[in-house]
Amino acid sequence: MSEKILVVDDECSIADLVEVYLKNDGYQVRKFYNATDALNCIKQEEISLALLDVMLPDMDGFTLCRKIRENYLFPIIMLTAKVEDIDKIMGLTLGADDYITKPFKPLELTARVKTQLRRYRLYNAQEPVQKEISEISIRGLHISKTSHKASLNGQELSLTPIEFNILWYLASHQGKVVSSEVLFEEVWGEKYWDNNNTVMAHIARLREKMHEPARRPKYIKTVWGVGYTIE
Give me the residues paired with residue 213 across strands: none
Question: Residue 121: how many CB atoms within 10 A of its CB?
Answer: 11
Give me the residues paired with residue 228 across strands: 178, 222
How confident is the model at residue 231, as a pLDDT?
A: 83
Rg (CA), the chain: 18
Q: Is 95 left (phi over 0), alpha (psi -120 to 50) or beta?
A: left
How confident is the model at residue 86, as a pLDDT?
A: 55
How confident is the model at residue 196, as a pLDDT?
A: 65
How confident is the model at residue 126, as a pLDDT?
A: 47
How confident is the model at residue 169, as a pLDDT?
A: 93
Alpha helices per DSSP H over 25-140: 35-44, 61-69, 85-93, 106-123
Contacting residues for 87 by C-beta, under 8 A, at least 6 apart = 54, 80
Q: What is the residue type of 127?
A: E
Cis peptide before 103 (omega within 30 of 0): yes
pLDDT tens series, the chain, 231 aa:
479 999 999 999 999 999 999 999 999 999 999 999 999 999 999 999 999 998 899 998 888 998 999 888 899 998 887 665 556 566 566 788 888 888 889 899 999 999 999 888 877 654 444 446 789 999 899 999 888 999 999 999 999 999 999 999 999 998 899 988 888 888 888 777 766 678 889 999 999 999 988 778 889 999 888 889 998
**E-assigned strands of the chain?**
4-8, 28-32, 49-53, 76-80, 98-101, 135-138, 141-144, 149-152, 155-157, 220-223, 227-230
CB contact at 8 A, 122 and 152: no
